[in-house]
Amino acid sequence: MLQNTHLYYGGDYNPEQWPESVWQEDARLMQTAGVNLVSLGIFSWAKLEPAPGQYEFAWLDRVIDLLHQHGISVDLATATASPPAWLVRRYPELLPQDANGTVLHSGSRQHYCPNSPHYREAAAALTRQLAEHYRHHPAVVMWHINNEYGCHVASCFCDRCAAAFRGWLKARYATLDALNEAWGTAFWSQWYGDWEEIFPPRKTPTMANPAQQIDYKRFYSDSVLALHRREYEIIKEHTPGLPVTTNFMGFFGPFDYHQWARHVDFTSWDSYPDPNDGVNGLAVNAAAHDLTRSLGGGKPFLLMEQVSSQVSWRPVNSLKPPGQMRLHSYQAVSRGADGVLFFQWRAARAGAEKYHGAMVPHVGAERSRVFREVADLGRELQTLDALAGSRVRAKVGIVFDYPNWWALNLESKPAQLDYLSRVLEYHRFFYDANLPVDFVSADGDWSGYRLVLAPHLCQLRTGVDERIRTFVRDGGTFLTTYFSGITDENEHVILGGYAGKISDLLGIWVEEWDPQPPGRILHVQWADGTHSEASDWCDLVHLQGASALAVLTNHFISKTPAVTQNAYGKGQAYYLAAQLDAAARTKLLSSICRDLDLEAPVDAPPGVEATLREKNSSRFLFLLNHTNTPADVCLKGHAGRDLLSGKNHNGRTILAPQETLILNLD
């Protein structure tokens, strides 16, 4: 867990790209900008170990000492994200291969196979040297393992990976019989008689075995996680007290972050919303903050990277207009971040990211709007120590499950079903309603929640049905949607009626599913006489104890249920059998929230985010006006002093365009 008493502010710092004379100016400008933490050494391997086993840390010592003299702490990287040229030359087999067998060469970054012993050993040795060397340096306050694992190479298909995969499968299945059964290899003559016959799911003529594909995802996520864990353990041997992280990437699909998050001391992520994405972009960014916080068990996280204004990797890289970077930063803090950091401190003058924005742009600090905004925010954050360590508390959980995501991405399914977009639609309701929400795994801890939503939980792993049953029996409210409870962890269909093992608690069973062609509208009639629309998909549901809150009126099965509710134990279970439009979703979810007394802290117009962070008896109410017009907010009985302006607010308050208030509630 983070150990800060201030909010952190700073960014990636790459001093090796600059002459030492610039370092002095950097340190001075960092002070001006309120910087108190920099991430150092992320891509420094070649400079730290210019030849095999020859470690040169003197330059880094000088940087860290200089920063320390200026009161700036260091998030020290293990520097293993980009193997040096000599290592590749010596062991070319450490290069990764794609599904076609194409080698991904050196000359950019992340060109390593996680199952290469040469990469693993060299990375571990460098980590050990760094940990030993800096274990007592007072400026080093945390560790940053590697960088954005999997960002460019989300899978490797080389022969070493094939061999490691076989080992992983032996550990999982013990016998080939068990593997053949789990993978359903009676299909298409895929039966294996020897472990050596098994390969990663390389490029195949057509659809590869689904269980093989899912297992490869599990295996590969584990393979890269093993790299992380090795470095983590080495660091912990030397500096057990310092918190360790690796930077996640929000809704990054290839790795199971629920598993990964068990192996960091705090979570962090890199946030790059497109300034052109408007409110949708804000909502998705908010969701990724919520995910990062949830992965860390609700503890404060770090916004490890954002850009001061423009990135360089989109087709069009627009500027953030004045004020937007500040608002985005407060969005992170309001959702649980204890620090705001950037990629990067000083804009590069060479290399593939030379057009990427930074805290200090190419024009230099003095004449730059961007630097002014950066420095203003840094000074402002220095006044917000009270927030450090406070937490967002959610009563609602949304199941976001990686193996399920992988399963829904397999080629063969009844219709396209974009899991992430669908999950985000549910998050969006809570975002718009200013109700805090966490993301949880299907087998995570749901005990703190009153409401758990599990959209499209197609793959229901063994035991998850019992967890849901217990949650609802004990008084929880559960909501799931069409195409849930269909397969087990090996992607075998559960027979005897869809919704399978959760049919009983839902009080329904599903006979068929009926995906709809684009543009066809399904008419939804609610029991209260109102009407909505649905599209894309409907399940043909049989009631078995549940009641229908809404039916479809224009399907060939007359009045087939669209929304059902079932009382189970002390709780309630809802099923959405069709893809309801946003208004219908809002209608249903609003009524569920009313029943559960889940209420927003304020009444605010659209475009205003309201969130609460709490610590001991202190409560901080964040109000963020993302619009360009004044916003009239009813504080619903709350009153308090704004930490930013010192002004008191109660009753109603008008937020200026783009204004942020952080009320320390009375």
Rounded to whole angstroms, the Cα distance separating 164 from 161 reads 5
C-beta closer to ligand GLA: residue 57 or 272: 272
| Structure-block tokens of residue 638 | 């709350």
Cβ at position 147, least distance to ligand GLA in Å: 5
Among Zn ion, ligand GLA, none, the one that 343 touches (CB under a kind-dependent 5 to 8 A) is ligand GLA
**Residue number with the smallest Cβ distance to ligand GLA:** 270
CB of 105 within 8 A of CB of 98?
Answer: no
Q: Which residues pair with 579 in a beta bridge?
A: 535
**Active-site residues: which are they?**
148, 305
Reduced to 3 states (helix: H, G, I; strand: E, B; else coil), residue 172 is helix
What is the Cα 82 distance to its own chain's centre?
Answer: 23
Taking CB under 6 A as the criterion, the residue among 222, 353, 504, 603 binding ligand GLA is 353
C-beta closer to ligand GLA: residue 13 or 330: 13
| Structure-block tokens of residue 651 | 């009753």
Among ligand GLA, Zn ion, none, the one that 147 touches (CB under a kind-dependent 5 to 8 A) is ligand GLA
Is residue 270 part of the contact set for ligand GLA (CB under 6 A)?
yes
Taking CB under 6 A as the criterion, the residue among 26, 215, 305, 539 binding ligand GLA is 305
What is the Cα 279 distance to its own chain's centre?
Answer: 19
CB of 659 within 8 A of CB of 380?
Answer: no
Cβ at position 52, least distance to Zn ion in Å: 22
Among ligand GLA, Zn ion, none, the one that 156 touches (CB under a kind-dependent 5 to 8 A) is Zn ion
Q: How far is CA 45 from CA 41, 49, 56, 61, 109, in A?
A: 8, 6, 10, 15, 11
Taking CB under 5 A as the criterion, the residue among 2, 35, 156, 359 binding Zn ion is 156
Q: Which residues pair with 661 in a beta bridge?
A: 623
CB of 310 within 8 A of CB of 273?
Answer: no
Among Zn ion, ligand GLA, none, the one that 311 touches (CB under a kind-dependent 5 to 8 A) is ligand GLA
Taking CB under 5 A as the criterion, the residue among 60, 87, 161, 288 binding Zn ion is 161
C-beta closer to ligand GLA: residue 359 or 522: 359
Cβ at position 59, least distance to Zn ion in Å: 33
C-beta closer to ligand GLA: residue 13 or 449: 13
Rounded to whole angstroms, the Cα distance separating 619 from 601 reads 11
First to last CA, the chain: 28
C-beta closer to ligand GLA: residue 312 or 490: 312
| Chain position carrying tokens 């016998």 | 175
Rounded to whole angstroms, the Cα distance separating 158 from 123 reads 19
- Contact map string, positions 147 to 166, toward ligand GLA, x by CB under 6 A: xx------------------
Among ligand GLA, Zn ion, none, the one that 113 touches (CB under a kind-dependent 5 to 8 A) is Zn ion
User: Considering Cα of 24, then 29, then 34, then 39, what sign does the dihedral take?
Assistant: negative
Is residue 158 part of the contact set for Zn ion (CB under 5 A)?
yes
Rounded to whole angstroms, the Cα distance separating 10 from 409 reads 37
Rounded to whole angstroms, the Cα distance separating 417 from 142 reads 40
Is residue 113 part of the contact set for Zn ion (CB under 5 A)?
yes
Is residue 514 part of the contact set for ligand GLA (CB under 6 A)?
no
Is residue 356 part of the contact set for ligand GLA (CB under 6 A)?
yes
Rounded to whole angstroms, the Cα distance separating 318 from 32 reads 27
C-beta closer to Zn ion: residue 161 or 621: 161
Among ligand GLA, Zn ion, none, the one that 589 touches (CB under a kind-dependent 5 to 8 A) is none
Taking CB under 6 A as the criterion, the residue among 134, 149, 301, 343 binding ligand GLA is 343
| Other beta carbons within 10 Å of 425 | 16
Cβ at position 534, least distance to ligand GLA in Å: 38
Q: Which helix (H) or strand (E) holds 396?
A: strand 396-399
Within 287-362, strands assigned E span 301-305, 337-342
DSSP codes joined into one string, 577-588? -EEE-HHHHHHH
Cβ at position 307, least distance to ligand GLA in Å: 6
C-beta closer to ligand GLA: residue 271 or 480: 271
Is residue 25 part of the contact set for ligand GLA (CB under 6 A)?
no
Is residue 311 part of the contact set for ligand GLA (CB under 6 A)?
yes
C-beta closer to Zn ion: residue 160 or 649: 160
- Contact map string, positions 115 to 134, toward Zn ion, x by CB under 5 A: x-------------------
Q: How far is CA 394 from CA 281, 504, 574, 606, in A?
A: 22, 28, 20, 21
- Which residues of the shown chain bind ligand GLA in the complex (CB under 6 A)? 147-148, 270, 272, 305, 311, 343, 353, 356
